Amino acid sequence: MRVLVTGGAGYIGSHTLLELMAQGHEVCVFDNYSNATPDVLTRVRSLSNGVIHDYVGDVRDSDKLDEVLQDFQPDAVIHFAGLKAVGESAEKPLYYYDVNVSGTLTLLRAMARAGCKKLIFSSSATVYGEPEYLPYDEAHPTNPTSVYGRTKLMAESILSDWAAAGDDRTAVLLRYFNPVGAHASAQIGEDPKDVPNNLMPFIAQVAVGKRDVLQVFGEDYDTPDGTGLRDYIHVVDLARAHVAAIDYAANAHGARAFNIGTGLSYSVRDMVSAFEKASGQQIPTKTVPRRAGDIAVMQADASRAKAELDWEATHGLDDMAASTWAWQSQNPDGYEQR
């Protein structure tokens, strides 16, 4: 299929390009590089030896989207382009609604003009909010606790209504749990621009000496070691879930949500231990109070994805830690050359 990938130069998008091309799909990237660099595509091209069409543009720019959609004529769109920092979303709510919600609307309108009716959406487990039961299945009530989470849930609602309004429209809503890890080549990976908000990139920067100490946000949760539990998912498994979603969308109609996780969960201490083992480095830690808005445990019931997408995670914790270490240690400054 011909697949337009918005945000394709980002962390998850870049890994997905490789998996799509490996399965024979033709890809086109649309990205404004607000959180990525064009060097990413240079590396993806050299890893794949494949053709990647690419356009620079913003998903809120309908003229630019028209140009791309008319030129490339995609069969489906994977919509990664968006903003993802929970803390920043509280400070800049209108910016988050604009990019994540208006951006999705603008994209859907442009798709309608080009006759493209299939969309795979980057949603998040954060749409569920405080768990009423665990693991979360897709029927769990949605009650996001952040502006970011609400933008994702709003976009999901728009996509569901859009898909229901036409017989041949498909929206696949992928609710990611916690993506970590990097490609086996160590050529592409996560490259946060500022201080990392997330656990794994922070641990990785401590291991290479860019940061002194990992702050453990609370050790008084009702969990076995007192730290938060998360369902970490290897980014290559996550990328493959998009390929499975593209195959599914070819024959499905309407909107459908899928949890994309492993069904297992690990604590902050587990992640530190796994990283120490993979890297041979000691990770100094310091316990500080809980981070506002954090939930004790998030864990997926990923059985729907297995049954309907024929997808399940295959990479374990050691692989998540080892691939993160390989990427970080071989690219201590990310995509920036030293």
Chain residues binding ligand UFG by CB under 6 A are 84, 86, 124-126, 176-178, 197-199, 202, 214-217, 228, 230, 268, 291, 294, 298
148 catalytic? Reply is yes
Please choose, from the candidates 293, 217, 298, 227, the residue with its C-alpha nearest in 3D space to the C-alpha of residue 262: 298
Nearer to ligand UFG, 48 or 287 (CB): 287
Nearer to ligand NAD, 80 or 162 (CB): 80
Nearer to ligand UFG, 27 or 78 (CB): 78
Residue 126 Cβ vs ligand UFG, minimum distance, rounded to whole Å: 3
- Torsions phi, psi for 29 (to 5 deg): -100, 140
DSSP code, position 13: H
Q: Which amino acid is at 100?
A: N
Residue 29 Cβ vs ligand NAD, minimum distance, rounded to whole Å: 9
Q: Which is catalytic among the residues 148, 176, 221, 266? A: 148
Residue 291 Cβ vs ligand NAD, minimum distance, rounded to whole Å: 15
DSSP code, position 289: P
Asked whether 217 and 228 are in contact (CB, 8 A), the reply is: yes
Residue 247 Cβ vs ligand UFG, minimum distance, rounded to whole Å: 24
Angle value at C-alpha 239, between 28 and 34, nearest 5 degrees: 55
Q: Mask of contacts with ligand NAD, 36-55, x by CB under 6 A?
A: x-------------------
Residue 49 backbone class (left: φ over 0; alpha: ψ -120 to 50; beta: rest): left
- Torsions phi, psi for 5 (to 5 deg): -115, 100
Nearer to ligand NAD, 154 or 226 (CB): 154
Beta-bridge partners for 133: none
Within 10 A of 286 (CB to CB), how many other CB atoms are there?
9
Residues involved in catalysis: 148
- Point out which residues bind ligand NAD (CB under 6 A): 6-7, 9-13, 31-36, 58-60, 80-82, 84, 99, 103, 122, 124, 176, 179
